Amino acid sequence: MLDKITYEFLESVDSTNERIKALAREDREQGLVISADTQTAGKGRIGRKWETPKRDTIATSILLRPTDIPIESVPTITVIGAMAVRKALEVVCGIQSEIKWPNDIVIDGKKICGILTEMEMRDGRVWYVVCGIGVNVHNRDFPEEIAFKATSVDIELEKIQSKAHSSRKEITKAIWEYFKEYYNIFVRTADLSALKEEYERHLANIGKAVRIEAQENSYEAIAKGITIQGELIVEVDGQEQIIRTGEVSVRGIYGYS
């Protein structure tokens, strides 16, 4: 169970995930959240870069010490993070977004948030997990390589002519409060049985074509939903297939998502 969340803020850090890892190794407690104004080495999956311009984005990570979930369930924590961000954007900002399995939040096919879950083992068991979340909030423009596929809270609020304010602090707090709620439901069963339905309601591309890009080949499939372990279910030539996190990347055939 995740009971208490404690917040610490840094002006600048290499990566909030790396900072949490260092503190985890110093035996800090579960529930510690580190947020930063900017990251000098913000990272995505498999060594990709995550842009964190100063004061424009949320870069925030939580330390978790799951005691009763098996190692196979750890990637599901990314799903929990995605649900929490989606909900926070809806409640705090009035913005509707979708979850692009496994680790992105998108609006009209553009990415507003990315999530990176990492863990370290000790003595054959999960020692700690860090779930890191990056949300674009005040960004007005993006580096050329991502300009076509990125968006921010302020850009989206302007589109819907909303006067809602977008305080990074308020959004961050809401993200971790919802994260706590969803996480505690998740750890009860170590799966998504109680959350699957809500997740699927917000899954981008459900019922639509996606392209599965595996290492050796790439093919078209229809996204059907997720398993209670958080894997993506797709249909290929009338047959159901399970896609596990990290194995492949999933792209919408039309547009980014």
Contact positions toward ligand BT5, by CB under 6 A?
Answer: 15-17, 39, 42-45, 48-51, 59-61, 103-104, 111, 114-116, 132-134, 136, 146, 150
Helices of type H across the chain: 16-25, 76-93, 144-147, 153-159, 168-189, 196-201
Distance CA 75, CA 231 (A): 9
Q: Are 193 and 228 in contact (CB under 8 A)?
A: yes
49 versus 165: smaller Cβ distance to ligand BT5: 49
Place of tokens 């004061």: 55
89 versus 191: smaller Cβ distance to ligand BT5: 89
The distance of closest approach from Cβ of residue 109 to ligand BT5 in the complex, given in angstroms and rounded to an integer, is 12
113 versus 233: smaller Cβ distance to ligand BT5: 113
CA distances from 110 to 131, 161, 257 (A): 22, 18, 7
Distance CA 246, CA 171 (A): 28
The single-letter DSSP state of residue 50 is -
45 versus 196: smaller Cβ distance to ligand BT5: 45
HSE on the CB side for 239, CA within 13 Å? Answer: 4
221 versus 250: smaller Cβ distance to ligand BT5: 250
Find, among 119, 112, 3, the residue nearest to 57 by Cα: 112
The distance of closest approach from Cβ of residue 27 to ligand BT5 in the complex, given in angstroms and rounded to an integer, is 21
Residue nearest to ligand BT5 (CB): 114
155 versus 191: smaller Cβ distance to ligand BT5: 155
Tokens standing for residue 214: 């595996």
Q: Measured in whole angstroms, how far is the alpha carbon of residue 177 from the centre of its chain? A: 15
The distance of closest approach from Cβ of residue 34 to ligand BT5 in the complex, given in angstroms and rounded to an integer, is 9
Find, among 237, 192, 198, the residue nearest to 90 by Cα: 198
The distance of closest approach from Cβ of residue 60 to ligand BT5 in the complex, given in angstroms and rounded to an integer, is 6
179 versus 191: smaller Cβ distance to ligand BT5: 179
Place of tokens 């917000």: 202
The distance of closest approach from Cβ of residue 100 to ligand BT5 in the complex, given in angstroms and rounded to an integer, is 9
The distance of closest approach from Cβ of residue 124 to ligand BT5 in the complex, given in angstroms and rounded to an integer, is 27
The distance of closest approach from Cβ of residue 96 to ligand BT5 in the complex, given in angstroms and rounded to an integer, is 18
